[in-house]
Amino acid sequence: MATGRTHRPATRSRGIPEATVARLPLYLRALTALSERSVPTVSSEELAAAAGVNSAKLRKDFSYLGSYGTRGVGYDVEYLVYQISRELGLTQDWPIVMVGIGNLGAALANYGGFASRGFRVAALIDADPAMVGKPVAGMPVQHIDDLEKIIDENGVSIGVIATPAGAAQQVCDRLVTAGVTSILNFAPTVLSVPDGVDVRKVDLSIELQILAFHEQRKAGEEAGAAEAVVPPVVRGATAPAEGRKGPDGDMPAVMPA
Ligand SMILES: NC(=O)c1ccc[n+]([C@@H]2O[C@H](COP(=O)([O-])OP(=O)(O)OC[C@H]3O[C@@H](n4cnc5c(N)ncnc54)[C@H](O)[C@@H]3O)[C@@H](O)[C@H]2O)c1
């Protein structure tokens, strides 16, 4: 079965493109920092730089919100915070459940950033009877057997999965059957969900792999640049890339395809 995300259109119901939705939290983070410093207005250039986004893209994104700023003054920080929060649905309370309270789940539960952004951890749930009743982040861990009851009683629509990969699909199925329609998955597995259920996946090792790819490419470019300044007469003689050694010693900067 395909995931719900795969079949979702690229725009949300109110016509805001998914790519814009994905940038709204970046603007909000930058705006919240400005608000905390009591900065009243901000230019699109300043805000774009703080959010790490191109300023033309920012103006286009804000046009979807109907926010155009005032020429020569910029955007009203407080109003934009409100507007983006409302667009992201953050002006209402979102109770979440976390399933799998091991190393990662406990660390997430202890992270204060969810509550400050409108996400209330309604319950911490685990399958290990030895965990049940133990306080984590000031809340007693509850047993997975009570999952459906907890979701129903708390009106939960967002679930976080931090179980081992082998248990994640089964936990996901139970969450969905109980009424959860958005899942944040930390387990290294692809979840199958019905249409109407959104899954976001977080995998730090994939992020590291992407960085490794860029590091490798940078090292290749540096080696290429170094080779370009070598006089033609010595071209072809081994000019190893710095810091890139194979098990047998020097490794060519660019491996044959
Ligand atoms: N996304 C990331 O960047 C990232 C980073 C670290 C770990 N992980 C993943 O997160 C998951 C948890 O890692 P961890 O180090 O916390 O593992 P852990 O073993 O410390 O914790 C897993 C917890 O899940 C519970 N559990 C197992 N089956 C369950 C079920 N059916 N229902 C409810 N709870 C259940 C266990 O009792 C345990 O408390 C793993 O899948 C790991 O690969 C992801």
* Cα 61 to ligand 1 centre (Å): 37
Q: Which atom of ligand 1 is nearest to the CA of 105?
A: 16
Please say whether the beta carbons of 94 and 119 come within 8 A: yes
Annotated binding site: 100-105
d(CA 141, CA 134): 6
Q: Has residue 33 been placed in a domain?
A: yes
Q: What is the CATH number of the domain that holds 160?
A: 3.40.50.720
Residue located via tokens 């958005």 = 182
Residue at which a domain ends, from 47, 67, 87? 87
Residues 167 and 184 in one domain: yes
Q: Is the CB of 147 under 6 A from ligand 1?
A: no
What average pLDDT score do residues 23-42 get? 95
One domain for residues 49 and 98: no
**Whether residue 103 sits in one domain with residue 83:** no
136 pLDDT tier (thresholds 50, 70, 90)? very high
Q: Which of 256, 73, 83, 96 has the alpha carbon at shortest distance from 175?
A: 96
What is the residue with the minimal CA distance to atom 39 of ligand 1?
102
> Averaged over 198-211, what is the pLDDT?
93
Specify whether 23 is located in the same domain as 105.
Answer: no
pLDDT, tens only, 85-129: 999 988 888 999 999 999 999 999 999 888 877 889 999 999 999
CATH number at residue 16: 1.10.10.10
pLDDT of residue 244: 37
For ligand 1, say whether the CB of 108 is within 6 Å of any of its atoms: no
pLDDT, average across residues 225-237: 62
- Say if residue 6's pLDDT is above 90: no
Separation of 21 CA from ligand 1 center, angstroms? 29
From 35, 65, 87, the end of a domain falls on 87
Is residue 59 located within the same domain as residue 110? no
- Convert the pLDDT of each residue in 63-93 to its tens digit: 998 877 788 889 999 999 999 999 998 888 8
User: Nearest CA to 203 among 168, 175, 174, 170?
Assistant: 168
User: In this model, does residue 216 exceed pLDDT 60?
Assistant: yes
Q: How many domains does the structure of the chain reveal?
A: 2
Known binding residues for NAD(+): 100-105
CB of 81 within 6 A of ligand 1: the answer is no
Per-residue pLDDT tens over the stretch 178-204: 999 999 999 999 999 999 999 999 999
**Is 12 a residue whose pLDDT tops 60?**
no
d(CA 108, CA 56): 35
114/161 same-domain check: yes
Q: Is 152 in the pocket of ligand 1 (CB under 6 A)?
A: no
Question: Residue 2: what pLDDT?
Answer: 36
Same domain, 104 and 200: yes
DSSP 37-63: TT--EE-HHHHHHHHTS-HHHHHHHHH
- Side by side, which strands form the sheet with 142-143? 142-143, 119-126, 94-99, 158-161, 182-185, 198-201
Cβ-Cβ contacts under 8 Å for 6 (sequence gap 6 or more): none
169 close to ligand 1 (CB < 6 Angstrom): no
Q: What residue numbers bound the domain in which 188 lies?
A: 94-205
- Residue 9 pLDDT exceeds 70: no
Closest C-alpha among 85, 6, 75, 25 to residue 45: 75
Residue 218 lies in a domain: no
Instruction: List, in sequence order, every beta strand (DSSP E) within 127-195.
Output: 135-136, 139-140, 142-143, 158-161, 182-185
Protein residue with least CA distance to atom 7, ligand 1: 104
- Domain match, 81 and 98 both: no
Residues 104 and 191 placed together within one structural domain of the fold: yes
Report how far ligand 1's centroid is from the alpha carbon of 188 (Å).
10
Domain boundary among 31, 59, 87: 87
Bigger pLDDT: 58 vs 224: 58
Most confident stretch, 1-5, 230-234, 253-257: 230-234
Task: For residue 202, give the ligand 1 atom closest to its CA.
Answer: 1
CA of 122 to the centre of ligand 1 (A): 19
- Inform me whether the pLDDT recorded for 3 exceeds 90: no
Cβ(34) – ligand 1 distance below 6 Å: no
168 & 188 share domain: yes
pLDDT for the residue 233: 54
